[in-house]
């Protein structure tokens, strides 16, 4: 949205205040000339998926694990009736509230709750975005089936997850960490992911895009100074993680209830 001009001093004060909410994981944002260069260039992923999703005008949308709401703001550009984001991170919630102070979208709502706190079988969403969530779930089939019944009949799931190369039977189960991440369980091939979605009862399954994660998309910045993707890839072979596993491939899929 166009933003009013502010003085140099106001801009510096705003940047100082926003920096106190670091680390910023998703972006970029520009608030009154303050450029928030977050760890993830989430605009890259958005550009990969935006032409492959259904029309969101006047739709009711859920952004699951929404972080600071970056994708919620992008979805808002499509004129939905409402976007609900949920995430348990309090710092992400505060970042969203700071952004909303200036962006002021009246149809965006954020609840600092987890997936388990949502009503099952509610069937109220036209579209659900589940970006980078599936590999954190111990029971992926139960998770996918629950998502299906949270959708209206004919509703669309937009799923983005890490996959590996292989056939319909290929699934990577890390022994411990994967690219430095804890709490990760299953990484199917894109072909196996399609089988999973069919088994969960989805139809019209379409692989929108598949691409390798790069340090241009995910990296350290002044807004996120912790370790990032560069630190978790093999320094001698970027096709592998430091654990010796295949480097992350990001696959975006859409499907319907």
Degrees (nearest 5) of the Cα angle 91, 21, 230? 90
Are 31 and 70 contacting, i.e. CB atoms less than 8 angstroms apart? no
Tell me the CA distances in angstroms from 162 to 34, 179, 189, 195, 247, one per residue in order.
32, 11, 9, 16, 9
Show the tokens assigned to 246: 């295949």
Please give the helix or strand (H or E) that residue 105 lies within, else none. none
pLDDT band at 13 (very low <50, low <70, confident <90, very high): very high
> Given a cut of 80, is residue 73 above it in pLDDT?
yes
> Given a cut of 90, is residue 6 above it in pLDDT?
no
Show the tokens assigned to 53: 């999703």
Averaged over 8-36, what is the pLDDT? Answer: 95
Q: Would you state the pLDDT for residue 211?
A: 97
Q: Give the list of residues 6+ apart from residue 183 with CB closer than 8 angstroms, or none.
A: 136
Averaged over 173-199, what is the pLDDT? Answer: 97
> Given a cut of 70, is residue 76 above it in pLDDT?
yes
pLDDT band at 179 (very low <50, low <70, confident <90, very high): very high
Show the tokens assigned to 122: 């509610």
> Given a cut of 80, is residue 3 above it in pLDDT?
no
> Given a cut of 70, is residue 2 above it in pLDDT?
no
Are 18 and 61 contacting, i.e. CB atoms less than 8 angstroms apart? no
Q: Would you state the pLDDT for residue 4?
A: 64
Burial environment of residue 176 by CB neighbours within 10 A (0 to 12, 13 to 18, 19 or more): exposed
Q: What are phi and psi of 47, to 5 degrees?
A: -65, -30
The phi-psi region of residue 41 (left if phi > 0; otherwise alpha if psi is between -120 and 50; otherwise beta) is beta
How many CA atoms lie within 13 Å of 150's alpha carbon, on the beta-carbon side? 23
**For residue 52, what is the DSSP state?**
G
Displacement of CA 1 from its chain's centroid (Å): 22
Would you say the C-alpha torsion 236, 241, 244, 247 has a positive or negative sign? Answer: negative
- For β-strands 233-234 and 237-241, DSSP reports them as antiparallel
> Given a cut of 60, is residue 45 above it in pLDDT?
yes
Residue showing tokens 């944002």? 29
Averaged over 135-161, what is the pLDDT? Answer: 98
Please give the helix or strand (H or E) that residue 94 lies within, else none. helix 90-103
The predicted-structure confidence for 51-66, as pLDDT tens digits, reads as follows 999 999 999 999 999 9
pLDDT band at 100 (very low <50, low <70, confident <90, very high): very high
pLDDT band at 117 (very low <50, low <70, confident <90, very high): very high
């Amino acid at each position: 949205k166009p933003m009013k001009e502010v003085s140099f001093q106001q801009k510096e004060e705003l940047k100082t205040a926003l920096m106190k909410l670091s680390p910023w994981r998703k972006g970029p944002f520009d608030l009154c000339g303050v450029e928030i260069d977050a760890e993830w260039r989430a605009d890259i992923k958005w550009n990969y998926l935006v032409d492959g999703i259904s029309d969101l005008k006047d739709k009711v949308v859920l952004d699951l694990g929404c972080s600071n709401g970056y994708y919620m703001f992008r979805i808002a550009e499509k004129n939905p009736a409402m976007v609900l984001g949920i995430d348990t991170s309090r710092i992400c919630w505060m970042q969203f509230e700071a952004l909303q102070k200036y962006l002021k979208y009246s149809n965006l709502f954020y609840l600092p709750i987890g997936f388990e706190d949502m009503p099952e079988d509610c069937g109220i969403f036209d579209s659900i975005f589940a970006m980078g969530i599936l590999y954190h779930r111990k029971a992926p089939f139960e998770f996918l089936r629950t998502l299906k019944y949270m959708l209206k009949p004919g509703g669309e799931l937009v799923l983005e997850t890490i996959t590996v190369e292989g056939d319909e039977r290929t699934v990577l189960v890390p022994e411990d960490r994967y690219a430095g991440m804890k709490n990760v369980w299953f990484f199917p091939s894109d072909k196996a992911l399609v089988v999973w979605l069919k088994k969960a009862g989805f139809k019209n399954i379409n692989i929108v895009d598949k691409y390798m994660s790069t340090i241009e998309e995910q990296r350290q910045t002044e807004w996120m100074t912790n370790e990032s993707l560069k630190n978790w890839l093999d320094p001698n072979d970027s096709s592998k993680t430091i654990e010796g596993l295949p480097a992350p491939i990001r696959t975006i899929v859409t499907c319907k209830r």
